[in-house]
């Protein structure tokens, strides 16, 4: 059994997650699946114009891992564009850079990725209740195979 993949840090969730060639019926299209972290790699390197070292640091991965993610994303996009395939952006191994939480009493707060990985919250910082839940993007279906890494309190 191989080692469990590390979670990649993502700062941006695309609002549009499906693209298809015009004039081609949906039923006859093949799809290419671009993971959320692949989309983030494209965004950081090609849209933000950051260097690979900076991109890797922002995603909390090594430079070689970032290069591998970016190469995979570009190959998938080229395949879709040149072979008339649809692109679906979903799934992957990622964690949002900042996570939003809400307790049963309505208090909301955010926790940075680095803190979340080391110590997920067990109590609301305002009222100390353990009745807390993770908010967006968990509701959208994210992470590995669309299921993803979801917040679990210590009581689950």
Token reading at 18: 């499906």
**126 pLDDT more than 90:** yes
Please give the model's pTM, rounded to 2 decimal places: 0.67
* Domains of the chain (ranges, CATH numbers): 8-89 (1.10.10), 97-146 (2.20.28)
Segment (H or E) for 56:
helix 52-59
Residue 131 has pLDDT above 70, yes or no: yes
- The pLDDT of residue 148 is above 70: no
* Three-state DSSP state, 148: coil
Q: Is 25 helix (H, G, I), strand (E, B) or coil?
A: coil
Neighbours of 123 (CB within 10 A): 14
Give the burial class of 101: count Cβ atoms within 10 A of its Cβ; 0-12 exposed, 13-18 middle, 19 or more buried. buried
């Amino acid at each position: 059994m191989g080692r469990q993949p590390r979670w990649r840090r993502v700062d941006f969730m695309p609002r549009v997650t499906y693209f298809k060639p015009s004039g081609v019926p949906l039923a006859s299209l093949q799809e290419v699946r671009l993971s959320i972290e692949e989309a983030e790699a494209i965004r950081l390197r090609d849209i933000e114009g950051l260097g690979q070292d900076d991109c890797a640091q922002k995603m909390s991965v090594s430079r070689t891992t970032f290069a591998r993610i970016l190469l995979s994303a570009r190959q998938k996009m080229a395949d879709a564009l040149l072979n008339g395939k649809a692109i679906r952006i979903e799934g992957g191994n990622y964690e949002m850079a900042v996570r939003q939480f809400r307790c049963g009493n309505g208090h909301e707060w955010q926790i940075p990725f680095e803190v979340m990985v080391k110590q997920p919250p067990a109590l609301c910082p305002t009222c100390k209740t353990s009745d807390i839940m993770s908010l967006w993007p968990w509701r959208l279906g994210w992470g590995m195979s669309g299921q993803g890494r979801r917040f679990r309190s210590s009581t689950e």
